[in-house]
Amino acid sequence: MMKKIFLVFLVFFGINFSVLAGMDINTASQADLESVKGLGPVKAKAIIEYRDQHGAFKSVEDLANVKGIGPGTLKQLGDQVSVQDEAAPGEAKLP
């Protein structure tokens, strides 16, 4: 019985790991961004446009450079969004 509970626990957290880490603002679609509390269609579109023009975000705090996103929005987003490390394990990260 304990093994079944443990397996269910592992499956649940394995599937939801990306949710726990926050949505990656460098790979999220507009629809994905719109699903984040505090971001609507206008802000989601602005994030995508900024990303397309300036490249990947280096940190979540870089969202402050996007028109319409200020300290209040950043605070509201909290850990709902993230910037994932693109380097594979064991792979050197380029400067």
Which domains, from first to last, does the chain contain? 19-82 (1.10.150.280)
Q: What is the pLDDT of residue 4?
A: 65
Q: Name the more confident of 93 and 55.
A: 55
If DSSP codes are grouped into helix, strand and coil, which group holds residue 94? coil
CB 22 within 8 A of CB 79: yes
| Confidence grade of residue 27 (pLDDT, cut at 50, 70, 90) | very high
| Whole-number Å distance between alpha carbons of 1 and 13 | 19
| DSSP β-bridge partners for residue 81 | 23
Give the pLDDT confidence score for residue 21 in this predicted structure: 65
Task: List C-alpha distances in Å: 19 to 35, 41, 49, 74, 75.
Answer: 12, 20, 24, 18, 18
Question: Is pLDDT at 52 greater than 70 in this prediction?
Answer: yes
Nearest 10 degrees: Cα torsion 42, 44, 50, 55: -170
Are 51 and 69 spatial neighbours (Cβ–Cβ below 8 Å)?
Answer: no
What residues form DSSP beta bridges with 38?
none
